[in-house]
């Protein structure tokens, strides 16, 4: 019912603070992730085959081979690993190798058919990157423009009215955080949810295309409103950041009255990845959380109640730290002062 970022089969999810955290896409079923990898395998095989049929240099073929080998390695490790998230390092290798191919395709002029194949392959690469919460590839290459198809095979944009051009800020209705949307005159759109890595959409006149989602854009006060054509759900965006731009409320429940022992920066072990969770709590109830060194997301705390979107936790004092206990399932995580 809202503007959403297209990530293949993926839907945006919230982070659970007091249970094994669900970071972004980690709640996907294993067969869903396998399907994303299969799509990448298919499109990469086609691209690699046709690329090598061209008059290319040994170094260019080596770059493409390195990428293909990284995709094959991911498939092998994925198939023998029960926890698909554990193959994130393999996906990072794919992203490293694919950036070299991307630069090659941007820097050289290849046949139109090959450029189209790379655009399709880049779409599958970015779907995989979004699944594992890694930075995707930028656009470019040939005559496709800076954000081909909005980065997600969207229709081309253009003719955006002046009142809809610029950078706008809206509240993320799923997390309480902030959505930042930048719209250019030629219809290229970038969208960042809760300070995350931007993804790309397109806008043609007053129609916004974001993967499978289409929204009508209208003018409201000093901003714009997006209305989902299927559900009628709306989001209002304004030219000034909401809630000062950072630490927006994390899903309701009020903010403030945080006890002294719960104020500060705490660190915990991520029970799903073995990495580190860093959580900072301010006296006014603003909370930021970073998982495994990733971009922070924002929650809120009122008294000893921590609210993070749909997840609510009780916070208690333990030794030199705090414990968050999920009010629904009773699972907990212990945090200690850094």
Same domain, 298 and 329: yes
Question: Exposure string (b/e) for 65-93, b if CB count within 10 Å is 16 or more?
Answer: ebbbebbeebbeebeeeeebbebbebbbb
Q: Under a CB-based contact definition with an 8 Å cutoff, are residues 71 and 135 in contact?
A: no
Same domain, 128 and 39: yes
Please report, for the domain that includes residue 234, its CATH number. 2.40.128
User: pLDDT band at 4, cuts 50/70/90?
Assistant: very low
Q: How many CB atoms lie within 10 A of CB 207?
A: 16
In a domain, 142, yes or no: no
Same domain, 37 and 128: yes
User: pLDDT band at 250, cuts 50/70/90?
Assistant: very low
**pTM for this one?**
0.40
User: Rounded to whole angstroms, how far apart are CA atoms 18 and 189?
Assistant: 35
pLDDT digit string, tens, across residues 68-85 = 999 999 999 999 988 888
Q: Is the pLDDT of residue 215 over 70?
A: yes
Which range (138-147, 217-226, 246-255, 308-317) has the least confidence? Answer: 138-147
Region of 280 on the Ramachandran plot (φ > 0 left; ψ -120 to 50 alpha; else beta)? beta
- What is the rounded average pLDDT for all residues in the chain? 76
Same domain, 189 and 239: yes
Q: Is the pLDDT of residue 90 over 60?
A: yes
What is the four-CA torsion angle of 256, 262, 264, 265, rounded to 10 degrees?
Answer: -120
Q: Report which secondary-structure segment, H or E, holds 208.
A: strand 207-210
User: Rounded to whole angstroms, how far apart are CA atoms 336 and 303?
Assistant: 19
Same domain, 241 and 281: no
In a domain, 306, yes or no: yes
Please report, for the domain that includes residue 110, its CATH number. 1.20.120
Residue where one domain finishes, among candidates 112, 132, 152: 132
Distance from first CA to last CA of the chain, Å, rounded? 40
Q: Under a CB-based contact definition with an 8 Å cutoff, are residues 224 and 193 in contact?
A: no
| Strand, coil or helix: 58 | helix
Question: Which spans in the chain are helix H?
Answer: 30-53, 58-79, 88-107, 112-131
Number of domain units in the chain: 3
Residues 6+ apart with CB under 8 A from 331: 18, 19, 20, 325
DSSP state of 148: G
Q: Which domain holds residue 71?
A: 30-132
Q: How many CB atoms lie within 10 A of CB 152?
A: 24
Region of 285 on the Ramachandran plot (φ > 0 left; ψ -120 to 50 alpha; else beta)? left
């Amino acid at each position: 019912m809202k503007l959403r970022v297209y990530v293949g089969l993926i839907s945006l999810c919230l982070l659970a603070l007091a249970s094994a955290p669900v970071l972004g896409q980690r709640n996907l079923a294993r067969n869903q992730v396998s399907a994303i990898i299969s799509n990448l395998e298919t499109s990469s095989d086609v691209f690699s085959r046709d690329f090598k049929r061209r008059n290319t240099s040994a170094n260019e073929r080596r770059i493409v081979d390195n990428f293909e080998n990284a995709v094959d390695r991911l498939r092998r490790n994925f198939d023998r690993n029960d926890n698909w998230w554990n193959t994130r390092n393999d996906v990072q290798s794919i992203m490293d190798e694919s950036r070299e191919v991307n630069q090659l395709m941007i820097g050289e002029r290849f046949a139109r058919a090959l450029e189209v194949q790379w655009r399709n392959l880049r779409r599958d690469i970015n779907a995989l990157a979004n699944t594992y919460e890694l930075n995707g590839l930028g656009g470019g290459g040939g005559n496709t423009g800076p954000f081909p198809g909005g980065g997600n095979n969207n229709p081309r944009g253009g003719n955006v009215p002046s009142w809809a051009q610029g950078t706008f800020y809206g509240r993320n209705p799923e997390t309480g955080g902030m959505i930042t949307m930048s719209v250019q005159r030629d219809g290229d759109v970038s969208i960042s949810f809760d300070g995350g890595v931007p993804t790309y959409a397109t806008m043609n006149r007053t129609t916004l295309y974001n993967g499978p989602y289409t929204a009508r854009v209208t003018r409201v006060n000093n901003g714009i409103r997006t209305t989902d054509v299927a559900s009628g759900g709306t989001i209002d965006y304004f030219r000034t950041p909401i809630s000062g731009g950072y630490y927006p409320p994390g899903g309701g429940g009020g903010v403030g009255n945080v006890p002294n022992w719960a104020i500060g920066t705490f660190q915990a072990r991520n029970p799903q990845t073995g990495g580190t969770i860093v959580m900072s709590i301010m006296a006014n109830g603003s909370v930021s959380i970073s998982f495994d060194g990733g971009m922070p997301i924002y929650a809120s705390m009122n008294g000893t109640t921590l609210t993070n979107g749909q997840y609510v936790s009780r916070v208690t004092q333990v030794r030199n730290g705090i414990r968050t206990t999920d009010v629904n399932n009773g699972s907990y995580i212990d945090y200690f002062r850094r």
